[in-house]
């Protein structure tokens, strides 16, 4: 800036000191206007540090899980990639350093709030109690909470669970719904809350629990991991529908706009449908199994009209 | 940091429909942790004493068993031991027994498994402290006991162990404090103890800092109680002329 101004001064030959200063000021304002409003929040942090930190889940098939090279892959991992591309574009930082950090359902909100991670797109349900602490982007997935049981167990719906042991993931919406149902309908169930999806499934497959309640897409993922997926059925009336969104720091409007735009564009352009097809309708690693989990009507509606509502 | 403090959440009714407040969950977790600590500690003392004596008993076979016990239980990570007791043991037992175990109420299973895992692990550490205490006694103590016509068992019971336990009170106090905190690992198999209740609060209220602060204070209280208790015991059993008294 100062160099170009001084060259201009020499050409003009008779510039006065204060007009040079004015030109420099004007030039500065023009440059800032060209780049849009000043960055703030997470985007500013990323621009200043040259690093973006993304949270990912390690064992949520087919949303975010490790491939053989210990890299997170899956439906949500692909969405994350789209977001990262857009951040690189917007900040004009093609060489942006991306750091990936494994998170759990217990630490994800704290890590986001204290700045350890910048955002996460995984399997986090957008609900009202979380809205008090964080913001959510447009939703990118909708699940129903249902049951997984062994075929010969005779469990067809939630009423069959009376007096049985059922396993759920600790801290999930399924746990809340199931324990509520147990208390309100006096069903006499034993509810085991397991630390993660694999442990829930281990509890089911070793016969400790008769059924496992979880988001249906994750149930399909757990089933696909087993030696014999045909032994298990996904069953029961959905007890709720949950929307997954990207989680970001509260009040960070620039970051939210960016996330919203990426997700809306992915849906309306058909890119998200292609990603869905890859992970839910085709064979996926590690065992090349097909989840065979067609898109629900509620999700088709979401894809047609992207939004960030809590209820689908 | 964009955090909204809300201490009132502790008195809110829980979201899972049971008739309780979040504070009651924490209190409940505190008593589970207390119960688990006391039960596991009792088991650890018994097991540690038995094997500690075996490791010094003049009998090769007993010494070998004591050494094997220590090398297995002290060298395998505690969390792995929890998983082995909970997931593996019922599978390698005969199917009928395994199925019976898996049919027991989950909460009872969690508690018993936790007592076993914690007790057997801490027992191996107490065993070594006891052995060190026994070996640190002047050799004349054992010899004098035997010369008086005591059997080996009587020498241990009347002469050696009463001195050894007084000597190892400080490390025993540490073990007691450690076992109360190691008990948090029981949360990984599903026991709703103190740390697990904190996690539940985080999950269901999205107020992690309030939850962890309250639970930290609860652990501090528990450790304070243990310290006072052990100091009281130490006072009661101290003898003039032993350990600088």
Express each pLDDT in B82-140 by its tens digit: 999 999 999 999 999 999 999 999 999 999 999 999 999 999 999 999 999 999 999 99
User: Which pLDDT tens digit goes with each residue over B23-34?
Assistant: 999 999 999 999
- Looking at the predicted structure, is the pLDDT value of residue A134 above 60? yes
Q: Quote the pLDDT of residue A29.
A: 47
User: Which tens digits make up the pLDDT trace of A238-285?
Assistant: 999 999 999 999 999 999 999 999 999 999 999 999 999 999 999 998
Could B204 and A129 be called an inter-chain contact, meaning their C-beta atoms sit closer than 8 Å? Answer: yes
User: Domain B28-237, what fold?
Assistant: MetI-like fold (1.10.3720)
Cα–Cα distance between B166 and B172 in angstroms, integer? Answer: 10
ipTM of the complex: 0.80
Same CATH fold assignment for domains A41-142+243-304 and A143-241 = yes
Kindly report, residue by residue over A17-55, the tens digit of the pLDDT: 454 444 444 444 444 444 567 899 999 999 999 999 999
Q: How confident is the model at residue A3 (pLDDT cuts 50, 70, 90)?
A: very low
Given CATH 3.40.190.10, say whether it is the number of domain A41-142+243-304.
yes
Q: What is the CATH number of domain A143-241?
A: 3.40.190.10
Percent of chain B with pLDDT over 70: 98
Give the per-residue pLDDT at A289: 85
Task: State how far residue A200 is from chain B, nearest Cα, in angstroms.
Answer: 10
Sign of the torsion formed by the C-alpha atoms of B208, A311, A217 and B106: positive
CB A121 within 8 A of CB A74: no
CA distance A119 to chain B (A): 14
Domain coordinates of chain B in residue numbers?
28-237
Mean of pLDDT values over A218-242: 90
Cβ–Cβ pairs < 8 A, chains A and B? 79
Nearest residue of chain A to residue B187 (CA atoms): A195
Q: Which residues of B touch A182 (CB under 8 A)?
A: 17
Helices B169-182 and B22-56: crossing angle in degrees, nearest 10, is 140
Residues of B in contact with A193 (CB under 8 A): 190, 200
Contacts of A122 (CB under 8 A, 6+ apart): A55, A56, A57, A60, A63, A64, A76, A103, A108, A244
- Stronger pLDDT, A16 or A194, i.e. the higher one: A194
Task: Find, in chain B, the residue whose alpha carbon is nearest to that of A252.
Answer: B2
Q: How far is CA B105 from the centre of its chain?
A: 23
Q: Which residues, 6+ apart, have CB-to-CB distance to A24 below 8 Å?
A: A1, A2, A5
| Best to test chain A binding among B88, B110, B197, B199 (most A CBs inside 10 Å) | B199
Give the C-alpha separation, A229 to B147, whole Å.
72
For residues B195-204, give the mean pLDDT. Answer: 90
Find out whether A276 and A269 touch, Cβ atoms under 8 Å: no
Q: Count other Cβ atoms within 10 Å, centred on residue B15.
A: 17
**Percent of chain A clearing pLDDT 70 (strictly above):** 88
What average pLDDT does this structure show over A199-224?
92
Kindly list the distances between the CA atom of residue A218 and the CA atoms of A120, A166, A215, A225, B82, in Å, as whole numbers in the listed order.
18, 16, 5, 11, 26
- Predicted confidence at residue A10, as pLDDT, reads 42
CA distance A53 to A286: 26
Cα→Cα distances B39→B86, B113, B127, B180, Å: 18, 11, 17, 11
Percent of chain A with pLDDT over 90: 72
**Cis upstream peptide for A73 (omega within 30°):** no
Q: Which pLDDT band holds residue B3 (cuts at 50, 70, 90)?
A: confident
| A-chain residue closest to B185, CA distance | A195
- What's the count of helices (H) and strands (E) in chain A, helices before strands? 12, 14
Residues in A closer than 8 angstroms to B90, CB to CB, are 206
Which pLDDT tens digit goes with each residue over A79-104? 999 999 999 999 999 999 999 999 98
Q: Give the chain B residue nearest A194 (alpha carbons).
A: B190
What's residue A35's pLDDT? 54
Q: What is the pLDDT of residue A228?
A: 85
Where do the structural domains in chain A lie, given as residue ranges?
2-34, 41-142+243-304, 143-241
**Distances A99 to A50, A55, A109, B215 between C-alpha atoms, Å:** 11, 9, 18, 32
What is residue A172's predicted lDDT score, i.e. its pLDDT? 84
């Amino acid at each position: 800036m100062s160099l170009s101004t001084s060259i201009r001064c020499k050409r003009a030959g008779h510039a006065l000191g204060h007009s040079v200063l004015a030109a420099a000021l004007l030039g500065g304002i023009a440059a800032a206007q060209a780049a849009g409003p000043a960055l703030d929040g997470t985007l500013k942090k990323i621009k200043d540090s040259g690093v973006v930190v993304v949270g990912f889940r390690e064992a949520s098939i087919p949303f975010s899980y490790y491939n053989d090279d210990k890299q997170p892959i899956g439906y949500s991992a692909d969405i994350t990639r789209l977001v990262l591309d857009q951040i690189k574009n917007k900040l004009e930082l093609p060489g942006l350093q991306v750091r990936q950090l494994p998170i759990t359902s217990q630490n994800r909100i704290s890590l986001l709030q204290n700045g350890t991670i910048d955002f996460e797109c995984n399997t986090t349900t957008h609900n009202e109690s979380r809205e008090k602490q964080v913001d959510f982007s447009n939703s990118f997935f909708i699940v129903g909470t249902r049951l997984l049981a062994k075929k010969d167990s005779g469990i067809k719906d939630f009423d069959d669970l009376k007096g049985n042991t059922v396993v759920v993931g600790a801290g999930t919406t399924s746990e809340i719904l199931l324990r509520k149902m147990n208390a309100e309908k006096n069903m006499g169930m034993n509810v085991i809350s397991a630390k993660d999806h694999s442990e829930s499934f281990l509890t089911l497959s070793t016969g400790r629990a008769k059924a496992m309640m979880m988001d249906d897409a994750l149930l399909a993922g757990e089933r696909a991991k087993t030696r014999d997926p045909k032994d298990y059925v996904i069953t029961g009336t959905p007890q709720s529908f949950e929307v997954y969104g990207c989680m970001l720091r509260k009040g960070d409007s620039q970051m939210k706009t960016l996330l919203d735009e990426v997700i809306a564009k992915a849906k309306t352009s058909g890119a998200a449908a292609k990603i869905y097809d890859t992970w839910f309708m085709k064979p996926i690693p590690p065992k090349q199994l097909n989840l065979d989990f067609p898109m629900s009507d509620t999700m088709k509606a979401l894809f047609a009209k992207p939004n960030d509502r809590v209820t689908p | 940091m964009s955090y909204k403090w809300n201490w009132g959440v502790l008195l809110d009714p829980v979201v899972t429909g049971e008739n309780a407040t979040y504070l009651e969950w924490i209190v409940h977790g505190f008593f589970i942790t207390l119960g688990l600590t006391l039960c596991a500690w009792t088991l650890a003392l018994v097991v540690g004493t038995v094997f500690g004596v075996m490791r010094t008993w003049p009998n090769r076979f007993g010494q070998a068993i004591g050494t094997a016990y220590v090398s297995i239980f002290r060298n395998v990570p505690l969390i792995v031991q929890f998983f082995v007791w909970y997931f593996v043991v019922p599978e390698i037992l005969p199917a009928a027994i395994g199925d019976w175990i898996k049919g027991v109420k989950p909460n009872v299973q969690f508690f018993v498994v936790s007592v076993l895992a914690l007790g057997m692990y801490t027992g191996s550490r107490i065993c070594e402290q006891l052995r060190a205490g026994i070996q640190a006694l002047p050799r004349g103590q054992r010899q004098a006991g035997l010369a008086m016509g005591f059997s080996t068992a009587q020498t241990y019971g009347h002469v050696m162990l009463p001195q050894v336990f007084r000597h190892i009170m400080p490390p025993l106090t540490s073990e007691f404090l450690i076992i109360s905190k190691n008990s948090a690992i029981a949360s990984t198999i599903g026991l709703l103890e103190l740390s697990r209740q904190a996690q539940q609060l985080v999950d269901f209220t999205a107020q992690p800092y309030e939850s962890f602060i309250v639970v930290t204070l609860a652990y501090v209280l528990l450790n304070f109680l243990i310290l006072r208790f052990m100091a009281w015991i130490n006072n009661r059993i101290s003898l003039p002329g032993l350990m600088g008294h």
